[in-house]
Amino acid sequence: MTRIAYTKPSITEHEVAYATDAARNGWGVKCYDYINRFEAAFAAHLGVPHAIATSSCTGAMHMGLAALGIGVGDEVILADTNWIATVSPIVHLGATPVFVDIDPATWCISPDAAAAAITPRTKAIIATHIYGNLCDMTALLALGDAHGLAIVEDAAEAIGSVCKGRPAGGMGRFGTFSFHGTKTITTGEGGMFVTSDAALFEQVLTLSNHGRARGQTKQFWPDMVGYKYKMSNVQAAIGLGQIERIAELSARKREILAAYRRHLAPFQGLSLNPEPEDGVNGAWMPTLVFDAALGITREACLAAFGAADIDARVFFHPLSSLDFFTPQPANRRAWDIPTRAINLPSYHDMTDADIARVCDVVAGLVRGGA
């Protein structure tokens, strides 16, 4: 019996051809050709005017927050349910992360909890669209307008998610995406910064290239101390091939989530990624939360899936539970849900038999097989 991986990319001859061309010919005057094409294609897909390909989503977030002027003495509000990549740029900039609780249905930041955490030191709120689920952007954007705060979208996991006709990542002051090998589209490692703010775009573009402004005529003359977060041309070639297949890749992710819904529909007490009434869930990572009454724990899930030779990922631990942050157990849902949840396999070429095999493990857990 073949082991079922929790995720892997979909790479075709289309991407291989682009990457081969970049490796053979993408040098000298052509060294940015695929980067420029990837950025343009991604911006067009998202419906925003500006996109900058980066070496990681973390780097994109770091530069975006830096360009907003966030630093020592400032506070940035974010959900306690997050991966470390979302909070590390805040810490690197010397600002203070403020962890708040999540919405019980979406597992994303609670707008009410965010509102309650605002102080005179607050400069931004990060809206992380966890596992493809959408934050309540209507409420968060209204909150930003009311308090003069930047609403930043961490859309690392949300390519393909849409809120009221607007794509995730394209609604806030800026958005960031990840192209890690686990994501719906990949460049191996990599990310994207997007914005509709022309001035912010120029600032981040300068920061991304060692502080060298594109209008600077002096050779090797930085205008500020910047970063080195650029994507390579070969990576961008793969990314271009992937974004040209985005409709197919996103549709397959949604098909897999729908299949899980069908298979697990007969069982009570199970919650999968919610589909918003006024939008689309990009379904990057189908995630299953068990009702507390079932008594099924994360550890039981890991043991059952391991015994069935199936990879499964744990739901993100609350950031405030990490040793280097102050615990915030008052964020009750962020601390509780991970103890009874599991990410399900969702790679693009999963078969119906693979999905059924995963669901058999879930059925065994529900029926007391743990």
- Is 183 designated active site? yes
**C-alpha span between 14 and 171 (Å, rounded):** 31
How far out from the chain centre does Cα 278 lie? 20
Q: How many CA atoms lie within 13 Å of 354's alpha carbon, on the beta-carbon side?
A: 18
**C-alpha span between 85 and 137 (Å, rounded):** 21
How far out from the chain centre does Cα 279 lie? 17
Which residue in the list 8, 30, 123, 183 is annotated as catalytic? 183
**C-alpha span between 172 and 194 (Å, rounded):** 10
Q: How many CA atoms lie within 13 Å of 176's alpha carbon, on the beta-carbon side?
A: 28
3 state SS of 149: coil
Phi and psi at 206, nearest 5°, equal: -65, -45
Q: What is the DSSP letter of 267?
A: S
First to last CA, the chain: 21
Question: Cβ contacts of residue 136 below 8 Å, gap of 6+?
Answer: 103, 106, 108, 111
Question: Cβ contacts of residue 305 below 8 Å, gap of 6+?
Answer: 311, 312, 342, 358, 361
> Within 160-310, where are the H helices?
198-207, 233-243, 246-264, 298-307
Of 164, 201, 238, give the one whose Cα is nearest residue 48. 201
For the annotated catalytic residues, the residue numbers are 183
